[in-house]
Each structure stands twice: as C-alpha cells, then as structure tokens.
Amino acid sequence: MTQAATANKGNSKPRLSDELSNDTLLGWLRSMQLIREFETRTMQAYQQAKIGGFCHIYTGQEACAVGTIGSVNHDDPVVLAYRDHGHALARGMDPKACMAEMYGKAAGCAKGKGGSMHMFDKPNHLYGGHGIVGAQTPLGTGLAFAARYEWEVLGTGSKKVCLCYLGDGAIDQGAFFEAMNLAALYSLPVIYIIENNGYSMGTAIHRHSANSENLLARGQAFDMKSVKIDGLDILNVYDQFKPLVDECRDLQRPAFVDFKTYRYQGHSMSDPQKYRTKDEVDEFKAKDSIANLLDHLMNERECIDEDSWKAMRKELAAIVRESVEFSENAADPEPGELYTDVYANPQPNLSPTAEYRHGAKNPLL
Amino acid sequence: MTTMDLHPASIENVPQPDFSKPLPSREGDRVIQFREALREAMSHEMRQDERVFLIGEEVAQYNGAYKVSQGMLDEFGPKRIIDSPISENGFAGMCTGAAMAGLRPIVEFMSWSFSLVAADPILNNVPKMLYMSGGQFGCPIVLRGNDGAGGQLGSTHSWCVEGLFANVPGMKMAIPSNPYDAKGLLATAIADPDPIFFLESERMLGDKAHVPEEQYYIPFGKARLAREGDACTLVSFGRPVNFCLEAAEKLAEEGIEVDVLDMRTIRPLDIESIIESVKKTNRIIVVDQSWPFAGISSEVITQVCERCFDWLDHQPVRVNTEDVPTPYAKGLEYAYLPNPERIADAVRNILP
Ligand SMILES: Cc1ncc(C[n+]2csc(CCOP(=O)(O)OP(=O)(O)O)c2C)c(N)n1
Ligand SMILES: [Mg+2]
C-alpha cells in the first residue's frame, strides 16, 4: 500500500496533503512544536526583563507559518509583520540567532540592532519582520517585482512566489490597497496572507474593518484569486494553499488569502485582554493545530507514538533552552556598533557628530 | 449651540483663554500622573465645546493603548470618543476635513512614529490650509501622541518627530516635560484655532506631580526657568528637560549652578528667554532628543548666534541623540539618547 493511501485512513475523500510523506509531516510537527516551545521561553525571558521593547507571541498561529512556508521553495522570498519569530524559525533561522536578537546581543540575526520585531535572515530569504503596520505589503509587492524581473528581464532566476504576511489590522492601511493594485496591475507573483486572528490589538475585526465577513471581495476587486483558508488544520492549509502557490508561480500573478487563525496570548506582552473571554480562547485551544496534526500522525498515519512524541518534545525543549543559554552568555554589541551599518558607503562629513563605519560581519552571513 | 457657528479660520471668532490670569500654583498635594493630566485637559475642553472629539486607535473601548483616554468613552460616548482602524492616513485626513468644516478634532497617534503614514495630510494639508485657501479655511486640529525613544522599540518606533515636523510653517508645536505643563499646554492647544502638534512621551506618562484640578491655560511661546544658575544655560524641551535637571543636581554638588530652560513649545520658540539667560551665563548648551542634522538644536543655536553672538564666551554646544537610526539593544540605546551623564559632561567641558 502506498503511503498516500495509508495517510487517508478513515477519510474517504482524497486530499492533496495525502501525498505528503510522513517525514515531511513529522518535520512540520517538529517545526510547530519548536515555535511553541520557543515562544514559551520568549515570554519567560520577557517577564525576566531579558527581552525589551515590544514582543508579540505567535502561539496558536503556528500552522500558518509552517504550512505556508512548507508549501513554497526555500528561495521564494518571505516578508512579514512584527509577529515574526514563528516564521523566522519555520524558515530555518537558527533559534540561537532569533533568541539572541531579542536579547539584544551581537550574535542576533540583526546584531541586536533590530529586536523582536525585526527578524531578518538573508540566507533563508527572509526579508524581515516589519513594525509599522502594513509597511511590509508594498515591500512584498517589490520582492515579487524583483523576482519577476530577475526571471523575465535578467534571465537569471527561476519563477518565484513571494509570501507577504499581514495581520487583519493591516488590511485597513492604505498602503495595502496600493500594494495590491500594483501587484495586480503588473501581474506580480505575490501572495498576501492575511493572518486573520480576529483582532487588531484590542479591536475585533468587525469593529475595525467594513464588510469584514467578506474580505475576499477586496482581493477580488483587483481580480486576484482570493481564498479563505481554515488555518487551524495544517493539512487543510496545504490542500488549499499549495495549488494557489503553484498557480501564482506558474502564471506569475498575485493572490489573496483570508487565513483564519487565532492567537492564544495577548497582542503584546502588555495586554490585559479585556476585549475577549477566556471561553473564547479555550474554544480555539480545543482546536489546537499542533494537537490536530499530532492526532492525525498518531491515529491515522500511525507514524509517531506517545514515546517518540515525548522524545521529540524533549529534544526541542533542549534546543530552545540552549538558545536561551547561548543568548544569556553572548556578548553585547560593541559600543562602536552604534555608528556602523548606517551607510553601505560611509563617506566623511555625513554627520556633524561622528564618522560612520562598516560594521562587523553579520553572524548569519 | 450649533456646531458650525464659529468660523475656525479667524481668532476673532474663537474665544481665547485669558492668559493674563496668573497660573495656579505648581505646589500642592493633588498628585496625578502625566496621562491623567492630559485626560483632564481633554475632558474639560470636551465639556465646554461640543465640537471637540477624540479619535485614534484603541482610544475608546480599550481605554487607550496607554490609558490616556481611560473612562472618556463612558463620559462622552462613542460619537465623540472614536476607535479608528489602523488607517493613519485616512483618519488624520478625515479629521483635516472635519476641522475645515468647523469641528475641533483631537487625533491621537498611538506613537508619532505612526504619523509618518499620515505625512501627507498632516504636513501637506493641515499646516497649509489657511494659507492656500487665502485665509478662508483654518485647521483647528490637535495631533497628539507619544514621541521619542527610550523603551527599546527599535528604529521604526522611536521617532522624535520634532526636528522633522517643526520645519513646516503653519503648525505650532508643544512638548511638555511634566504633568503640570501637560495639562496647561494641552488645554491651550485645544482652544487654539491653529493646528497643534502635541508631543508626549510614553516614558513620562506615569510621571506624577501636583496638578491643579481647575482648567488652566499655559501660554504658548513662554519658556519656564526650571532651575537657576549662572554657569551655563541649558535649553531643552520634553523628556530631556528632566535629564537636564538631573545633571544640574549632580553639577550643583560640584558647585556648578546652571539655568535650565524648559521651552514648553518649539513653535513658537521663546527666544527672548534664551537670550536673557545667555546674557547672564554667556554659555549655551541645547539638549535635544532628536537628531542633530538640521534639527531643533541647530535652529536654537542659529537664532542665538544671530541675536546675541557677542555675548557668548564659548561656542554653542548641543547634546542630541546620536546621528544613527535607533538601535534596539539596551546598552546601545542608552548610549544613543541624551542622558544626564552626557549633559553634565557637556557642561563641565564648556566651563572655563
Ligand atoms: C502604522 C502603525 N500604526 C499602529 C501601530 C501599532 N500597532 C502595532 S500592532 C497593531 C495591531 C495590528 O493587528 P493585526 O494587523 O491584526 O496583527 P496581529 O497583531 O493580530 O498579528 C497596532 C495597532 C503600528 N505598529 N503601526
Ligand atoms: Mg490580528
């Protein structure tokens, strides 16, 4: 019996995700659990004031980053908002570089200059987390522009698709409408993934966006293929998202995804969450995406059992713990780093206060 | 009263506070937070004038992202305390139109950093409306929010917009450094018929001081001499005034006494008070939490050179944030900002 057939045990309708190997899905489970473990430690470190600034936890939304990034190629560009630790890890960023960045250490992915909201990883084609709501949406259009240009004009690249993530709050920004229009007008391969967790900070979506029941109309207005995806079931994410990626890549055109998901934690680390009930949170926790996938792998594919799941969790916990220890002991940025990385071509007299210099090499490069 | 019966473009039709009245005492035991002082100023003006309303992200049901507007929804209702989507360009522009039509919007930017999304309405429309309509349409709007770095928020969230924005004629800019001034300056801002850029600081919202219960109006363009001395003039505004006072405290232990001038408003700039102090101390240091290049510190020093060059015994000095984007790492960020040590060093270096 083929693996695809066993995968679908007890489920009559064949699904695209049936074709995914056990190894791939175990990898996704691992990736989601890594993010969850990582975020738990992130919260602890924040509470101990080891991490500063604004810090946004991804817990609950793991199936989005892992399922969508799992549906594209490694060299497809990715750009996102500030809730970015999960995508960075899913993209393959070393947890040490991610944690050290939040600790503000020189070994962080942005040498401690960026912080939680700015996960950049060039070798992993991750063009950053971005703090200004909506700012990344024209950037995503631009990454798609470059990808198409590279393929079509320079003749050096293959057909790529850019994944551009935004929150439901970001759909209200004018920049997003301009970005969508440009992408559609120039037929650029970018997929706008709206991680619709129902809230923009403390404002429920129906209070911040008109006709919010029908977000797809916005993509459709620009003649983009527009899809609603239940994002709590990662198999379903793949079933719906993968064909969309293939189509956007093939036809080099944009798409719009209303990705239904939910965040378990507050908006940021300082959110009393009076705008929602505990019951509501529990209701979503009962549909947890990690538990969902685990259940499928244990009971339908029968490729993992309690013991190996326990072992996996233990191993991941150790990896995350190591990233914390690494960050605790890592060096602070040199004071001189203040005046580096400001210019790629630092010339004299650019500033009345000091001369700019080239910076130390980024640890990821 | 009907909402549209006052012509916002003319001061004659806008009753102004009586600035000749002495201000209430700064001393007293009614101690409240900076954020409450702001709230009191707004609530009082809203009770007086139905044209005034407040709009911004999370200002209503969430009671303010930083709790400045806490309780205001309960008092004034959702028609006057309005939650907005994350659409700065949209709601700032909308309020520009509403102000042209005679309303008196208070726009809260969660952070001035986010106002850059609204650069066109607030820089290209708001301050120019009266001029380009030949005096027909004013724009009585108050734009307010948190300004400045200091919480490890990184490069995009740490803007000090004063240097960038004060460049535009047609706007007025107030930057309080303490709760008492916050209330009195915001009250004046709301009453004024011109557009006001009102810069608060998230780092100061919890600061406590005596604030009188009554509404009072601090005139724009009148600096406050926060501390007296004759060794040097320290000119500052907003949060760094407090760093200057800390530095002055330290210097006093060394027998060095300085004038600390809290400018309160940048536009209008009380250059007369600066000159008066410089004529006494013959030395000036400007402490400015925005960047040095073409900023407020450059402006103040230029005006001092233009007006009392001969009174200076030392070249003017400025202490700014370092001339780089705001770094995240705690140590780097501290070194980046003006701080009491840097200010005290600047004073020691300027003395004979
Ligand atoms: C231009 C701008 N305005 C306001 C903010 C403050 N802010 C940060 S996140 C946020 C809510 C965004 O919600 P959403 O887009 O749904 O993303 P989520 O946090 O749910 O992932 C707000 C108001 C900002 N960072 N940038
Ligand atoms: Mg959201």
**Per-residue confidence band for A1, with pLDDT thresholds at 50, 70 and 90:** very low
**Per-residue confidence band for A13, with pLDDT thresholds at 50, 70 and 90:** confident
- pLDDT per residue as tens digits for the range A241-258: 999 999 999 999 999 999
Residues B52 and B166 in one domain: yes
CA A45 to centroid of chain Cα atoms: 21
User: Going along B5-130, which residue ranges are E strands?
Assistant: 31-33, 52-56, 81-83, 104-111
Does B2 fall in a domain? no
Residues B166 and B269 in one domain: no
Q: Residue A346, class by beta-carbon neighbours within 10 Å (0-12 exposed, 13-18 middle, 19+ buried)?
A: middle
Residues B237 and B192 in one domain: no
- Give the model's pLDDT for residue A5: 44
B152, B186, B210 — which closes off a domain?
B210
Residues B66 and B152 in one domain: yes
Residues B201 and B254 in one domain: no
Q: DSSP of B286-349, one letter per residue?
A: EEESS-STTSHHHHHHHHHHHHHGGG-SS--EEEE--SSPPP-SHHHHHHHS--HHHHHHHHHH
**Per-residue confidence band for A48, with pLDDT thresholds at 50, 70 and 90:** very high
Does A77 fall in a domain? yes
Q: Which residues of B touch A104 (CB under 8 A)?
A: 152, 328-332
Whole-structure pTM over 0.90, yes or no? yes
Residues B140 and B279 in one domain: no
Taking the CA of A82 as reference, the closest ligand is 1
Phi, psi of B316 (to 5 degrees): -60, 150
Is B210 in the active site? no
Does A351 fall in a domain? no
**Per-residue confidence band for A7, with pLDDT thresholds at 50, 70 and 90:** low
Q: Positive or negative, the Cα torsion across A323, A328, A333, A334?
A: negative
- pLDDT per residue as tens digits for the range B134-157: 999 999 999 999 999 879 999 999
- Give the model's pLDDT for residue A270: 86
Does B139 fall in a domain? yes
Residue B52 above 90 pLDDT? yes
Instruction: Using alpha carbons, list the distances in angstroms from residue B212 to B84, B183, B276.
Output: 31, 9, 29
Q: Mean per-residue pLDDT for B283-312?
A: 98
Does B114 fall in a domain? yes
- Tell me which of B110, B113, B156 to substitute to probe ligand 1's pocket, judged by most ligand atoms within 8 Å of the beta carbon: B110
Please state, for a pLDDT cut of 90, what percent of chain B lies above it: 95
- pLDDT per residue as tens digits for the range B55-107: 999 999 999 999 999 999 999 999 999 999 999 999 999 999 999 999 999 99
**Do B328 and A339 count as a contact with CB atoms less than 8 A apart?**
no
Q: Residue A88, class by beta-carbon neighbours within 10 Å (0-12 exposed, 13-18 middle, 19+ buried)?
A: buried
- pLDDT per residue as tens digits for the range B98-136: 999 999 999 999 999 999 999 999 999 999 999 999 999
Closest CA to A77 of A69, A66, A86: A69
> From A354, which residue of chain B is nearest by alpha-carbon distance?
B323
Does B338 fall in a domain? yes
* Least confident among A20-29, A263-272, B298-307: A263-272
Mean pLDDT computed over every residue of chain A: 96
Distance CA B284, CA B301 (A): 8
Select which of B57, B157, B162, B299 is catalytic.
B157
Mean pLDDT computed over every residue of chain B: 95
- Type of residue numbered B155: S
Does B318 fall in a domain? yes
**Do B62 and A203 count as a contact with CB atoms less than 8 A apart?**
yes
Please state, for a pLDDT cut of 70, what percent of chain B lies above it: 96
Does A348 fall in a domain? no
**Per-residue confidence band for B14, with pLDDT thresholds at 50, 70 and 90:** confident
- Give the model's pLDDT for residue B155: 97
Closest CA to B111 of B68, B172, B49: B68
- Give the model's pLDDT for residue A58: 98
Number of domains chain A contains: 1
SS3 (DSSP) at B96: helix
**Do B332 and A113 count as a contact with CB atoms less than 8 A apart?**
yes
- Give the model's pLDDT for residue A157: 87
Residues B151 and B265 in one domain: no
Per the structure, the complete domain to which residue A103 belongs is given by 3-333
**Per-residue confidence band for A166, with pLDDT thresholds at 50, 70 and 90:** very high
CA distance B116 to chain A (A): 10
Q: Where are the alpha helices (DSSP H) in A84-135?
A: 85-90, 95-102
Residue B295 above 70 pLDDT? yes
Is B341 in the active site? no
**Per-residue confidence band for B12, with pLDDT thresholds at 50, 70 and 90:** low
Residues B242 and B167 in one domain: no
- Give the model's pLDDT for residue A11: 58
CA of B73 to the centre of ligand 2 (A): 23
ipTM for this model: 0.95
Does B20 fall in a domain? no
Per the structure, the complete domain to which residue B303 belongs is given by 224-350
Residues B204 and B230 in one domain: no
> From A275, which residue of chain B is nearest by alpha-carbon distance?
B62
B166, B181, B210 — which closes off a domain?
B210
B210, B237, B267 — which closes off a domain?
B210
Residues within 5 A (CB) of ion ligand 2: A 167-168, 197, 199
User: Cis (ω within 30 of 0) for the bond into A95?
Assistant: no
Does B98 fall in a domain? yes
- pLDDT per residue as tens digits for the range A113-134: 999 999 999 999 999 999 999 9
Number of domains chain B contains: 2
Does B203 fall in a domain? yes
Closest CA to A323 of A23, A50, A25: A50
Does A271 fall in a domain? yes
Give the domain CATH number at B117: 3.40.50.970
- pLDDT per residue as tens digits for the range A172-220: 999 999 999 999 999 999 999 999 999 999 999 999 999 999 999 999 9
Residue B191 above 90 pLDDT? yes
Give the domain CATH number at B235: 3.40.50.920
Residues B198 and B335 in one domain: no
Distance CA A272, CA A53 (A): 17
- Give the model's pLDDT for residue A10: 58
Q: DSSP of B186-197, one letter per residue?
A: HHHHHHSSS-EE
Residue found under tokens 């001038």: B261
Distance CA A173, CA B327 (A): 26
Q: Mean per-residue pLDDT for B32-52?
A: 97
Does A104 fall in a domain? yes
- Give the model's pLDDT for residue B150: 79
**Helix A306-329 and helix A95-102, axial crossing angle in degrees, nearest 10:** 50
**Per-residue confidence band for A315, with pLDDT thresholds at 50, 70 and 90:** very high
Q: Which of A110, A337, A352 sits opposite B293 (nearest CB)?
A: A352
Closest CA to B133 of B186, B162, B170: B170
Does A354 fall in a domain? no
Give the domain CATH number at A80: 3.40.50.970
Residues B135 and B95 in one domain: yes
The contacts of residue B341 (CB under 8 Å, 6+ apart) are B247
Q: Which residues of B touch A207 (CB under 8 A)?
A: 61, 83
Token code pair at residue A50: 């080891």
Residues B179 and B138 in one domain: yes
User: In this structure, are residues A81 and A167 in contact, taking their beta carbons and an 8 Å threshold?
Assistant: yes
